[in-house]
Structure 1
Amino acid sequence: MTHLSRAGLLRLMAAAPMAIGLTAPSSAFAAPGGAEATSADAERAVAEARRASGNDPVGLLRRSVKGPVLLPSDAGYAEEAAGFEVAHTPAPRVVVGATRAEDVRAAVVYALAVGAKVRVQATGHGLEDDLRNTVLVTTRRLGGVSVDPKARTATIGAGVRWREVLDAAAAHGLAPLLGSASGVGAIGYSLGGGTGLLSRQYGWAADAVRSLDVVTGDACLRTADAKREAELHWALRGGKFGLGVVTRAVIDLVPVTRMRGGAVFFAAADAAAVLHAWRRWAPTLPREAATSVAILTLPPSPQLPPPLSGKQVVSVRFSHTGDPAAADALVAPVRTWAPVLIDSVQELPFTASDAVHTDPTDPAPTVNGGTGLRELPAAAVDALLAAAGPGSGSALVAVELRLMGGALSEKPRVPDAVIGRGAAYSLWGLGIVAGPAGAQAKPSLEKMVASVGRWACPGPLNLAGGGWRDDLRTPEQRKRLEKARRRFDPARVIG
């Protein structure tokens, strides 16, 4: 498939703001072929739209999109634009609630014509600004999960959360490579790399993405896999930002149904003893085991056990998908590091994987970020505790060290743009930007990252904070991504 020439793109941007004059299939997941829109189709549609639109481009956008098209003055606008992250109040110039790929394409062409950016949001976990002068495409209506148990794949819409994939796959004795929280959008998580309980055993979530249907920044509908649009396939998986808006993906599933999993909690006063013990113990684990250790400042809540409610604690998270007796032997030393407050490690169906990290499920105004670590010597733990541990004055409510390695360090079968394969650990922090300590959250996060600078290296993009973070990539990756962006999004309309 060709992409828009420079002259064609200029004509597209100069024309009236809509480009969906095509005969469109009713499904957002139409098979590639005749249903795909080429640059020639787009230019032809623009010409037709220009004659029809007059002075009402938003009106034409509304007539071309099956889902809602909302301006700031419209009822439902704020609700449609809202996301999980509430530190920012989204204020896009228009919100397009996509119900099919053609709705997404309409939004892209409208943005090209009016000189706006396109941003995409499924759950809004990654919202980092107020989205002014953007066309916000919400993909929550692009649902649907279809599992092929023979091929061990799932076909998922752009608005699908991991919970839907987890439950659908479990019916066939399979599981996806989700993260620590099943309420996160599956597509956005995977495009950023994606590390979770199964990652040391099976690799990054991005490695498991077989194909993607995407509306690229030149207003074309494309299918990208290892054979078709291979460069786009490489760039999207781990590139996360720019290039286009994904509408559907096919991902690999793995044969996992159960695990030994949970967390062992200790008092904050034992943080030094626990973190030092963890750094010695974690690297001895086999790849079917996952672990992290976190310093958590928990709110008072009747939903928390009394030993945890309103307390600062240390949580050692553990999961293991192999033999239960082997798992019990591996986790047993953890219980000897200090007096245990709560021990929730038990046999669980993998569908209950949220129980390991118990991530918050309610929206909150936060700032977060982190770094990878090449190694974790005693000096690194001491530096981290001094900057962000109990008694340090840090405003962070969560500081997590996560073991990486295993399959996360290996080259994927099909190359992708993932960063962080060289990290032995990841460090991540979270602060609340509201309340008395809100102003100190970001400085505390910066202090945490700086404290381990001697041992830092690129880590998971989803945990790095700060948007694109091309600074974490190798020069070769940056050059290759830039070439892909010039080809597929020459006007830089996406992101």
Structure 2
Amino acid sequence: MIDQLPAQFTFRPGDPGYAEELAGFQTGFTLRPGLIVGATDADEVRAAVVFAAARGLPVAVQATGHGLAGPAEGGVLISTRRMDDVRIDAAAGTARIGAGVRWGQVVEASAAHGLAPLNGSAPSVGAVSYTLGGGLGVLGRTFGYAADRVRSLDVVTADARLRHVTPEKEPELFWALLGGGHRLGVVTALEIGLVPVARVYGGSIAFDGADGEAASDVLRTYLEWTRTVPDALTSSVAALPYPDIPQLPEALRGRYVISVRVAYTGSAAEGERLVAPLRAIGPSLADSLREMPYTDSHTIHSDPPFPHAYYGDSAMLSGLDAERALRALELTGPKAPMMTVVQINHLGGALDAEPPVPTAVPYRDAAFLLRLLSPLDGTGVAAVRALYAQVSSVLEPLAVGRSLNFSFGGGDRTGGLHDERTRKRLAGLVSQYDPASLFGGVYEGE
């Protein structure tokens, strides 16, 4: 058994490099682990788990730091950013990705073979963590969740064993890891299936949302439009007040903007036909709808690439009507006490289909996902939560749960991330694989 920590990338508070190793994309919530292990391979992950288990210390994992790493205060944080190997098997249509790999790396490596992963909208997000949370991607309605394409996982469990987990070998652990997150071990690598996509028709079309009537037209048209589009088209609508800064296009500066984002795997000509009802809404502030190489798919959403402080939450919805959607925008719009981004993702299609192999990804029959995200610069979490509570009260009749991928900064709020049946099954597996809760994973009751 490994009983020594790697010396090269091991940091304690006060050590040179500790703060740099701890830094991640999320800057609004600071952790203070007693030890950071910058692992370079699975053996070093095992060594960190042995060290923590022997001392009864909690273990958390961080790759890119977009979400909170877990119960790391005074414990051991395993930083996986150096485990960033990507290997493509073009003949098999698969990729093997290390725990620290970012989606942008997988997109670029796959594109060389005319393939694509089921990545999220931001190229800087860690691919493994995103997939363990389910992974609602740019092409979700066409191909399902990223978790649905996982072939195998390498994971270090609480007993410091490195397990190669497949649907045939340890099917219960395979089920739980995909949709259950990091609470059953440290995943060191995934093998994922890729899809034969080299180009998409997509982009966004932005409207001035300051006019209440115009905002109503956009939302009503969008929600009606989602009833008509094929599964080959994945879309969302987002509303946010843009700051008046020179880094933004002049047409968007200082405006409250409602944008419809589109990704379509069919022809550009058919894409143009499908988006015609959106263009008919009225004059747009910006329109980037076009055919593009899949390597440009991140421009559809243009998520911020720089680290910042934020809080976010989400609601999986059985349906959505324009009145409730408009009320959510009224609460979070320009007159709100803090800047809030609202995004409504159209679900269904392959996301609602039976996956090739069962996973713990919940709420597959949800029709929409509503996401809220607020910068924390000068704004306290309590004020943000108070605003979100008002939005939740509007959505409550339609809400079936929350999304693990889109719960930012709410580590003490785990309710609703899984349905009751899934929670109980996950709790039983925690008792089996991590009885001492080394990874902080008590699912029962959440």
> Residue 329 of structure 2 is aligned with which of 385, 396, 416?
385
Give the equivalent residue in structure 2 for 1:366.
Answer: 310
Name the CA distance, whole Å, in 2 between partners of 1:115 and 1:130.
13
> Residue 416 of structure 1 is aligned with which of 359, 362, 367?
359
- SS where residue 454 of structure 1 aligns? helix
Give the equivalent residue in structure 1 for 2:238.
Answer: 294
Give the equivalent residue in structure 1 for 2:196.
Answer: 255
Name the CA distance, whole Å, in 2 between partners of 1:262 and 1:338.
17
> Residue 477 of structure 1 is aligned with which of 418, 422, 442?
422
1:161 is matched by which residue type in structure 2? R
Q: Which has the higher helix share?
A: 1
Name the CA distance, whole Å, in 1 between partners of 2:69 and 2:387.
18
Displacement, 1:388? 2.3
Give the equivalent residue in structure 2 for 1:461.
Answer: 404
Name the CA distance, whole Å, in 2 between partners of 1:311 and 1:398.
13
Contact 1:395 1:437 in 2 (8 A): no
1:489 is matched by which residue type in structure 2? D
Give the equivalent residue in structure 1 for 2:90.
Answer: 149
> Residue 187 of structure 1 is aligned with which of 106, 128, 133?
128
Identical columns (%): 45
Give the equivalent residue in structure 2 for 1:198.
Answer: 139
Gaps of 5+ in 2: 441-446
User: Is 1:283 equivalent to 2:265 in the alignment?
Assistant: no
> Residue 2 of structure 2 is aligned with which of 20, 38, 63?
20
Name the CA distance, whole Å, in 2 between partners of 1:199 and 1:190.
12
User: Is 1:492 equivalent to 2:440 in the alignment?
Assistant: no
- SS where residue 227 of structure 2 aligns? helix
Give the equivalent residue in structure 2 for 1:350.
Answer: 294
Name the CA distance, whole Å, in 2 between partners of 1:302 and 1:457.
41
Q: 1:483 to 1:281 in 2, by over 3 A?
A: same
Displacement, 1:248? 0.8
Give the equivalent residue in structure 2 for 1:52.
Answer: none
Give the equivalent residue in structure 2 for 1:96.
Answer: 37
User: Is 1:333 equivalent to 2:274 in the alignment?
Assistant: no
Contact 2:268 2:290 in 1 (8 A): no
Name the CA distance, whole Å, in 1 between partners of 2:376 and 2:97.
34
Alignment of 1:43-442 (within 5 A): 60-61=4-5, 65=6, 67-127=8-68, 131-268=72-209, 269=211, 270-391=214-335, 393-435=336-378, 440-442=383-385
Displacement, 1:446? 2.6
- SS where residue 284 of structure 1 aligns? coil
Name the CA distance, whole Å, in 1 between partners of 2:121 and 2:12.
35
Contact 1:90 1:131 in 2 (8 A): yes
Displacement, 1:437? 7.4
Displacement, 1:66? 5.6
TM-score, normalised by the number of residues in structure 2: 0.93
- SS where residue 271 of structure 2 aligns? helix
Q: 1:67 to 1:152 in 2, by over 3 A?
A: farther
For residues 396-439 of structure 1, the C-alpha deviation after alignment (integer angstroms, 9 at most, x for no partner) is 43101110000000111100000120210000011112226776
Name the CA distance, whole Å, in 1 between partners of 2:126 and 2:380.
29
Gaps of 5+ in 1: 1-18, 22-59
Deviates more, 1:206-215 or 1:309-318: 309-318
Displacement, 1:458? 2.4
Q: 1:111 to 1:437 in 2, by over 3 A?
A: closer
Name the CA distance, whole Å, in 2 between partners of 1:179 and 1:266.
24
Structure number with larger C-alpha Rg: 1
